[in-house]
């Protein structure tokens, strides 16, 4: 997986729109951390997804 770095600052709205458009591979998830979008392996349980859905 390529590790491209976005060098310009994005507004919160731009970051959210970019995050929503990401085509995440099976077994991975995209998260916004410290103003950056990162891809990490998905957890084995659905508890995390319920928490995210409640927050978003």
pLDDT in tens, 9-39: 678 889 989 999 999 998 898 998 888 899 9
pTM metric for this prediction: 0.54
Q: Are 35 and 19 in contact (CB under 8 A)?
A: no
Q: Among residues 56, 3, 1, 7, which one has the least CA distance to residue 35?
A: 7
- Domain residue extents for the chain: 12-55
Helices (H), 1-56: 12-21, 47-55
**Better-predicted residue by pLDDT, 56 or 36:** 36
Question: Does pLDDT of 53 surpass 50?
Answer: yes
Question: Could you give the angle at the alpha carbon of 29 between the alpha carbons of 5 and 19, nearest 5°?
Answer: 55
pLDDT at res. 3: 47
Q: Are 30 and 21 in contact (CB under 8 A)?
A: no
């Amino acid at each position: 997986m390529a590790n491209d770095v976005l060098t310009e600052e994005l507004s919160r709205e731009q970051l959210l729109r970019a995050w929503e458009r990401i085509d995440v591979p099976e077994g991975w998830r995209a998260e916004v951390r410290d103003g950056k979008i990162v891809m990490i392996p998905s957890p084995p349980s659905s508890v995390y997804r319920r928490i995210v859905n409640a927050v978003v």
